[in-house]
């Protein structure tokens, strides 16, 4: 089991409030990890720290791409982290609303392409070739998430479930090693959730490691290999879905103190 991402002692303070308190996570290559916990537990803050939106107050985030030495991610700008291979989606969808579905995915290819001002103005053969490759790859990704026929629709005109899938396609376009999904099933109907589950499994089948925040417990239990539970900025438990289901700490965090003790 190769480790891919190691988070050690990650701490995030907002003024006097400690949103993350020495969080340790260990993600191995090729598995699906879930991050669960009550609202306000610090899940999205953790995501923001991992992707560079926030600079953590303390601790380390180390990414070890297969066959390379580990690299420190904390303190890097979000775009550098994406380049290193950590892509994400957002809890409240953040597509580029007035760009077409295809263009949204093409933006994801930005960090894997190189054309500069000179190439753009003179349309050098290298640029033309690169543009073709970008369009090709992006269309293939749209095909993959089932949005190929909507390629030229503006992103804001897509139905909700499709927007969620487009966010995943856009993140995949950056060729990530680790994909962070922030509540991918939020607001989806049961059928869309099933489709999403298949999509996530198939992405994982290609060897991509996935870390997802999700409130739909059935989805989490079916999909994930390993679950982290957070509450009040701390990791309170981790284990396989079966272990988590029966963990008294987790039950307490979700349901409060049991009434039979009273």
Partner 1 sequence: MLTGTDLRRALLIGLWFMFLTFPLLAIKVNPIEQTVTWRWANMLWVGGATTVIALACRFLQARQAARQERIRLGLEPPPATWNFALLREPRFALPLLGATAVFLLAFPALFSSYQVNIMITALMYVVLGLGLNIVVGVAGLLDLGYVAFYAVGAYAYGLLHLHFDWGFWTVLPIGGLLGALFGLLLGFPVLRLRGDYLAIVTLGFGEIIRLILENWSEFSQGPSGIANIARPGFFGFELSMEESLVYLYYLMIGMALFTVFVVNRLQNSRIGRAWFALREDEIACQAMGIDKTRTKLTAFALGATWAGMAGVFFAAKTTFINPASFTFLESAIILCIVVLGGMGSIVGVIAGALLLILLPEYLRAVAEYRMLVFGAILVVMMILRPQGLVAPMRQTYTPPR
- β-bridge pairing 58-63 and 234-239: unpaired
Q: Are 37 and 230 in contact (CB under 8 A)?
A: yes
Lay out the site mask for partner 1 across 60-79 (x = CB under 8 A, - = otherwise): -----------------xxx
- Interface residue with partner 1, options 62, 139, 217, 251 (CB under 8 A): 139
- Three-class DSSP labels, 153-204: CEHHHCCHHHHHHHHHHHHHCCCCCEEEEECCCCCCCHHHHHHHHHHHHHHH
- Interface residue with partner 1, options 113, 157, 202, 243 (CB under 8 A): 113
Instruction: Give the strands of the sheet with 71-72, arranged side by side.
Output: 17-28, 3-14, 58-63, 71-72
- Rounded-to-integer distance, Cα 24 and Cα 226, Å: 14
Part of the chain binding partner 1 (CB under 8 A), chosen from 28-36, 130-138, 183-191, 202-210: 130-138
Q: Based on CB atoms, which residue is closest to partner 1, 102 or 223? A: 102
Hey, which residues between 214 and 253 contact partner 1 (CB under 8 A)?
none
Q: How far is the CB of 184 from partner 1 (least distance, A)?
A: 15
Q: Mention every residue, 6+ apart, whose C-beta is less than 8 A from residue 167.
A: 89, 90, 93, 94, 95
Q: Mention every residue, 6+ apart, whose C-beta is less than 8 A from residue 100.
A: 151, 152, 153, 154, 155
For the chain, where are the E strands, in sequence order?
Answer: 3-14, 17-28, 32-36, 58-63, 71-72, 86-88, 178-182, 209-213, 226-231, 234-239
Token readout for 200 is 């996530």
Rounded to the nearest angstrom, the gap between the alpha carbon of residue 155 and the centroid of all alpha carbons in its chain is 20
Q: Based on CB atoms, which residue is closest to partner 1, 96 or 232? A: 96
Part of the chain binding partner 1 (CB under 8 A), chosen from 88-96, 186-194, 210-218, 226-234: 88-96
Residue 125 in contact with partner 1, rule: CB under 8 A? no
Q: Based on CB atoms, which residue is closest to partner 1, 55 or 201? A: 55
C-alpha triplet 83, 87, 89: angle, nearest 5° = 145
- Interface residue with partner 1, options 16, 121, 256, 261 (CB under 8 A): 121
Hey, which residues between 142 and 161 contact partner 1 (CB under 8 A)?
152
Hey, which residues between 20 and 59 contact partner 1 (CB under 8 A)?
51-53
Residue 119 in contact with partner 1, rule: CB under 8 A? yes
Residue 174 in contact with partner 1, rule: CB under 8 A? yes
Q: How far is the CB of 194 from partner 1 (least distance, A)?
A: 27
Under the rule (CB under 8 A), what is the footprint of partner 1? 51-53, 77-79, 82-83, 87-88, 90, 94-100, 102-103, 106-108, 110-113, 115-117, 119-121, 123, 127, 130-136, 139, 152, 170-171, 173-174
């Amino acid at each position: 089991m190769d480790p891919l991402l190691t988070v050690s002692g990650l701490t995030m303070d907002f003024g006097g409030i400690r949103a993350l308190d020495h969080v340790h996570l260990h993600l191995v290559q090729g598995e699906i990890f879930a991050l669960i916990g009550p609202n306000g537990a610090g899940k999205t803050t953790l995501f923001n720290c991992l992707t560079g939106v926030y600079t953590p107050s303390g601790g380390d985030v180390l990414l070890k791409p297969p066959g390379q030495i580990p690299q420190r991610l904390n303190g890097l700008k979000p775009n550098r982290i994406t380049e290193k291979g950590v892509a994400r989606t957002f809890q409240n969808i953040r597509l580029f609303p007035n760009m077409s579905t295809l263009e949204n995915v093409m933006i994801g290819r930005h960090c894997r392409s190189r054309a500069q001002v000179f190439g753009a103005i003179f349309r050098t053969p290298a640029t033309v070739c690169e543009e073709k490759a970008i369009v090709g790859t992006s269309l293939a990704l749209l095909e993959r998430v089932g949005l190929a026929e909507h390629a030229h629709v503006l992103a804001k005109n897509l139905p909700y479930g499709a927007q969620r899938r487009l966010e995943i396609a856009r993140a995949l376009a950056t060729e990530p090693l680790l994909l962070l999904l922030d509540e991918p099933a939020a607001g989806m109907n049961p059928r869309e959730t099933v489709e999403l589950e298949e999509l996530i499994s198939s992405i994982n089948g290609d060897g991509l490691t996935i870390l997802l925040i999700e409130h739909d417990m059935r989805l989490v239990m079916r999909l994930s290999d390993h679950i982290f539970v957070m509450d009040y900025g701390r990791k309170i438990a981790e284990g396989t879905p079966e272990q988590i289901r029966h963990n008294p700490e987790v039950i307490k965090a979700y349901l409060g103190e049991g009434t039979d003790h009273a």
